[in-house]
Structure 1
């Protein structure tokens, strides 16, 4: 504990730090520079009881061995790139194939296991910074990125900014697993969910979206245009032999959103806590992942996280969009600013 920023930052000997920030209305967040992660977010439930709605670890060092991206900022490219290769301006770049023949989440050397710098911290906000060198993970350009978390009235704001000296791929996301009944609240299948999207991207068995255009959600388990209980939608899918939800053991699907600027991407409610979270972002899609592949993952206070213990709402680009012509591509021209803004509102 060599040094403090306004009492917020605890610096540990090995440069893994935690920062605690507080906001109006009894909200508290704990973060670590290891992966610029959200470790916990405590909000009052319908009875005013403080409830930590984020899956995670008690000790930031425990994230070093974590391969589930809990709470992390993912980059340089979130989700899948088919064939672990892409081209920019006619030049092909190759990435590590860490999931079959594909690249997923720019692993094994992802941003989630870098110690970001604590660039600034005060009572209600913290900003982490990372300097990602040219050809880091196989991507061109030196990419300097910041992730700023701030507790504001009624919610949490996350702003990611980046710039590269060469044209590159920039598709970052936040990979927080939410359980609005509390991180030890069992599965999220009873959560009510709304995603105001008319279409979704069906995937192959490796969760790469199929090359065809996005499909209508109408008459499928992907229809969350009106609020629906996640488990009931999945049971409908099982009854009709839905291949998509069977492959994903739930959901691992991108929902394109219409419009520009900060807009509602998803709204989820914990059926027991009464906590409702609305997520706004300015990304082309939100990827819904219901954590079907979590397998007895150690969590806080001796809790274990199994399948569907949380849900991820990942704002960003359509997976593999860099290799598509029918989607917005996550290509960032040299010298232009990458921006992703995310706002979580709680009621």
Structure 2
């Protein structure tokens, strides 16, 4: 395990980089956003990352970060909990609350709890009222390497009822260059969530059959000319153990990534807007296990509430292999 300063945040806080390695995997983690800065398999890069902290601070594409306190979108930044209404900042076009707001978890510098050659645990305290959220939230993120698996364990506790939805936000490009439109994607989901013009789910849970959202068999990302920033329904609620959420194949590198997770939903973003974020359009894609977007405002969606005495727990695995 190598541990060294990577740069400084605007407030002067030092951002540290932790490098892990085991077998065919190499992993670089930054304390800023508890993010995956670099991920290699068989010596080749598999995710997008910036070369310096200034670019991470400038480009709001959440590359490799843990998004929260509520990842994805909340309509109008409003929700109600136990009869009380809350207003969160609308940091996306002034219309939606995205990835926890202006000081969401992706923009915070996490503390290192422990680290060795194959794992690191980081923690972050989000105080009551931060970004408008109720309750003080203590969150832990552990990255560990085991064989060809990167295992990500996210846990959190609160001292008052709150909402939480954490998501890992790496941009994958298994070939290490070019775009991902030729990558073959499989998502074992029979349903997805249609969205409105603000990318907020309409509340409907739609069948993928006969649509551009049917990825139940391997399909090239760019095969249908569809833009993707949608949530796929894997189950009604969080599972106790990870199960397959998606598979991705790089045509040039002949590499396969299986994403396994406990989460009920999977956000698939094709990276179509990355041209304005420091990378090329479709330079990478995101596969983000999570609770459904806007779930606090949709009674029919999966639970997003966390109460004192409960522990939020998400486990996601990135499993690599050669085709």
TM-score, length of structure 2 as denominator length = 0.94
- Deviation digits for residues 94-141 of structure 1 (CA, Å, limit 9, x no counterpart): 100112321111121111111100111100111111011001111110
Partner of 2:197: 205
Matched, 1:231 2:225: no
In structure 1, distance between residues paired with 2:221 and 2:76? 32
Partner of 2:309: 335
Unaligned runs of 5+ in 1: 1-6, 45-49, 236-244, 299-304
Q: Please, which of 22, 26, 29 is the counterpart of residue 27 of structure 2?
A: 29
Partner of 1:151: 145
Instruction: Check whether the contact 1:181–1:271 (CA below 8 A) recurs between aligned residues.
Output: yes
Q: How does 1:113-124 map to 2 (within 5 A)?
A: 113-124=107-118
Partner of 2:232: 255
Instruction: Check whether the contact 2:150–2:319 (CA below 8 A) recurs between aligned residues.
Output: yes
Structure number with the higher strand fraction is: 2
Instruction: Check whether the contact 1:161–1:337 (CA below 8 A) recurs between aligned residues.
Output: yes
SS of alignment partner, residue 302 of structure 2: coil
Q: CA deviation at 1:66?
A: 2.3
Instruction: Check whether the contact 1:18–1:60 (CA below 8 A) recurs between aligned residues.
Output: no
In structure 1, distance between residues paired with 2:277 and 2:72? 21
Unaligned runs of 5+ in 2: none
In structure 2, distance between residues paired with 1:97 and 1:315? 23
In structure 1, distance between residues paired with 2:153 and 2:297? 26
Q: CA deviation at 1:329?
A: 2.3
Tell me the C-alpha RMSD between the 2 structures: 1.3
Partner of 2:46: 53
Aligned residues: 312
Partner of 1:19: 18
Q: CA deviation at 1:328?
A: 1.1
Q: Please, which of 54, 71, 86 is the counterpart of residue 79 of structure 2?
A: 86
Instruction: Check whether the contact 1:166–1:335 (CA below 8 A) recurs between aligned residues.
Output: no
TM-score, length of structure 1 as denominator length = 0.87
Q: CA deviation at 1:42?
A: 0.6
Q: Post-superposition, which runs of at least 4 consecutive aligned residues in structure 1 deviate over 3 A?
A: 11-14
In structure 1, distance between residues paired with 2:114 and 2:178? 35
